A = this chain, B = another copy of it.
Amino acid sequence: MDKAKQKVQQFKQREQAILDTALELLIEHGEDRVTVEQIAAKVDIGKGTIYKHFTSKTEIYIRLLFDYEHQLKADIEQAIIDAEGGDYSAPARVYFGKRMSDPVQARLFQRLEERMVANGEERDKLGELDDLRQAALEQLNKSFAKRIEEGRLIKDVPPYYYYLAYWALTHGTVELYHNHSFQDLVADKPDFIKFILDLGVHMGVKSPS
């Protein structure tokens, strides 16, 4: 019964199609303003079909959030391995570089999550998300701590101040991308991103005396 397998395959594909379409629509229209009907229409399936795959609209979003975070985590781990032997700034560079590589998604997911927290939805799941991130952050923390120890960074702030600053810089850049006032301003975008990442890496670096 190869047919059976094919069916399962198809079902999974459709699930992915729903997720992909939801993401597209979210990016195109914003966190609100996407309806279940829209998704269904774009995937070209019935409204009810969506509820065969997900128990609620919220669950679609949760799923998107997890998929994103997992992907990110895998990418980062791989990148850190690739950068083995690189300087101490490599983890930070990779972590934030990845997040900034698709600023639109970065921000979307940030907001999606925020909205759920605000609505008190799916607290457990959101907790899991947090845990996922903690691993990566701890690694960053160590990296910064090491640099402080070696005297490369100003010493009198907790190490995590650095990655928070880095986080802020990258997420702020993401916001910048969405600010229509700056749409035309950042003409050469990759160049600007490079600039920002460099800034970040050098943030708080002590001037060699």
Contact = CB atoms under 8 A, between A and B. Distances in A.
21 contacts: A30-B118, A114-B179, A114-B180, A126-B180, A157-B195, A161-B195, A164-B176, A165-B169, A167-B182, A168-B170, A168-B173, A168-B196, A169-B169, A169-B172, A171-B175, A171-B176, A172-B172, A172-B173, A199-B203, A202-B204, A207-B207
Interface string A166-192: 011111111110111110011000011
Interface of A: 29-30, 32-33, 110, 113-115, 117-119, 126, 129-130, 133, 157, 160-161, 164-165, 167-176, 178-182, 185-186, 191-192, 195-196, 199, 202-204, 207-208
A91 to B, nearest CB: 18
Contacts of A126: 180
A110 B180 contact: no
A163 B161 CA distance: 21
B160 A185 contact: yes
A192 B118 contact: no
Contacts of A178: 114
Nearest to A32: B32
Given A130-B181, A179-B110, A168 B169 contact: yes
B30 A115 contact: yes
A165 B199 contact: yes
Contacts of A186: 164
A156 to B, nearest CB: 10
Contacts of A119: 33
Contacts of A173: 165, 168, 172
